[in-house]
Amino acid sequence: MVTTPLTYIHGVPVYRRVIRRLPANGRLAPRAKALRKAGILSEILFWKQVHKGRFHGIDFDRQRVIGNYIVDF
């Protein structure tokens, strides 16, 4: 299987990787949602620039629950 890079950033190929299902602590979901809604100005401005593939076509997630942690990526 040959994969085509999604984009290049400074000459480095970036490939799409799909992660189907990660372990998550369901009790943290309401907290993650509250964090998404209560972002500080700098965070809101940052996510506005990178959401929906606006940064080199790469998709990012905000406050996603993985295991017992809430992460941004």
**Domain extent for 35:** 22-71
SS3 of the chain: the string is: CCCCCCEEECCEEECCCCCCCCCECHHHHHHHHHHHHCCCHHHHHHHHHHHHHCECCECCCCCEEEECEEECC
Q: How many domains does the chain have?
A: 1
Place of tokens 């017992």: 68
For the segment 23-42, what is each residue's pLDDT rounded down to a tens digit? 999 999 999 999 888 888 98
40 located within any domain: yes
6 located within any domain: no
11 located within any domain: no
pLDDT at 1 over 60: no
d(CA 16, CA 46): 22
Nearest Cα to Cα of residue 15 among 7, 27, 23:
7
7 located within any domain: no
For the segment 59-70, what is each residue's pLDDT rounded down to a tens digit? 787 888 899 999
13 located within any domain: no
60 located within any domain: yes
pLDDT at 18 over 70: yes
9 located within any domain: no
